Structure 1
Amino acid sequence: MTSAPRREITGFSNPTVKFIRSLREKKHRKTSAKFLVEGLRLLTDARESGYLPEILILSTAREPHPLLEKLEIDLGQTGADVIETSPDILAKITGKSNPQAVAGVFAEFDTSLDTIDRSSAYIWLVAQDLRDPGNLGTMLRTGDAVGAGGLILIDDCADPFSVEAVRASMGAIFTQKLAKARWDEFLPWLRSGKNGAPGQLVAASLRDAVPYRGAPYQAPCFLLVGNESQGLPEDYEAACDLRVTMPMKGRADSLNAAMAGAVLAYEVLASFD
Structure 2
Amino acid sequence: MHINSKDNPRVKLFRKLLSSKKAREEHGLFAVEGARNCVDTAYEAVCGRIKVHSVFYTQTALTKYKNTLKTDTLFSCTRPEDVFEISDELAKKMTDEGNSQGIYMIVFKVDLPFVAEYIDKNGKYLVLDNLQDPGNLGTLLRTADAVGVSGVVMTDNCVDLYNPKVVRSAMGSTTRLDLFVVDNFLNVATLFDELGIVTNAAVVRNGENITEFDFDRPCAVVIGNEGKGLPKEHSDICKNRVTISMHGNIESLNAACAGTIILWEMFRGGSHG
Calculate the TM-score normalised by the size of structure 1.
Answer: 0.88
How big is the shift at 1:126? 0.4
Query: Relative to 1, partners in 2 of residues 1:13 and 1:74: Cα closer, same or farther, differing over 3 Å?
Result: closer
1:86-97 equivalent positions in 2, closer than 5 A: 86-97=87-98
For residues 148 and 62 of structure 2, the distance between their equivalents in structure 1, rounded to whole angstroms, comes to: 34
How big is the shift at 1:39? 2.2
**What is the aligned partner in structure 2 of residue 244 from structure 1?**
242
**What is the aligned partner in structure 2 of residue 222 from structure 1?**
220
For residues 145 and 80 of structure 2, the distance between their equivalents in structure 1, rounded to whole angstroms, comes to: 30
For residues 122 and 159 of structure 2, the distance between their equivalents in structure 1, rounded to whole angstroms, comes to: 26
Tell me, yes or no, if the aligned pair for 2:122 and 2:197 is still in contact at 8 Å: no
**What is the aligned partner in structure 1 of residue 37 from structure 2?**
42
**What is the aligned partner in structure 1 of residue 14 from structure 2?**
20
Amino-acid identity (%): 30
CA offset digits 1:33-82 (Å, max 9, x no partner): 1111112312232233333522000124323326222331443xx35511
2:121 maps to 1:119: yes
For residues 96 and 110 of structure 2, the distance between their equivalents in structure 1, rounded to whole angstroms, comes to: 24
How big is the shift at 1:249? 2.5
SS, match of residue 173 in structure 1: helix
How big is the shift at 1:207? 5.5
CA offset digits 1:73-130 (Å, max 9, x no partner): 443xx35511111222222222223211111110002432026322363x21000000
SS, match of residue 113 in structure 1: coil
1:175-214 equivalent positions in 2, closer than 5 A: 175-181=176-182, 182-193=184-195, 198-206=196-204, 208-214=206-212
For residues 198 and 216 of structure 2, the distance between their equivalents in structure 1, rounded to whole angstroms, comes to: 6
**What is the aligned partner in structure 1 of residue 27 from structure 2?**
32
**What is the aligned partner in structure 2 of residue 231 from structure 1?**
229
The letter for the 1-side match of 2:60 is: A
2:73 aligned residue (70, 73, 83):
70
SS, match of residue 222 in structure 1: strand
SS, match of residue 23 in structure 2: helix
For residues 162 and 120 of structure 1, the distance between their equivalents in structure 2, rounded to whole angstroms, comes to: 30
CA offset digits 1:232-269 (Å, max 9, x no partner): 00111111111122122233211111111111111121
Deviating above 3 A after TM superposition, structure 1's stretches of 4 or more consecutive aligned residues are: none
SS, match of residue 94 in structure 2: helix
SS, match of residue 63 in structure 1: helix
Calculate the TM-score normalised by the size of structure 2.
Answer: 0.88
For residues 174 and 220 of structure 1, the distance between their equivalents in structure 2, rounded to whole angstroms, comes to: 23
For residues 124 and 133 of structure 1, the distance between their equivalents in structure 2, rounded to whole angstroms, comes to: 20
2:258 aligned residue (251, 260, 265):
260
Query: Relative to 1, partners in 2 of residues 1:247 and 1:39: Cα closer, same or farther, differing over 3 Å?
Result: same
SS, match of residue 262 in structure 1: helix
Count matched residues.
260
The letter for the 2-side match of 1:71 is: L
CA RMSD for the aligned pairs? 1.9
SS, match of residue 83 in structure 2: strand
| Ranges in structure 2 where 5+ consecutive residues have no aligned partner | none
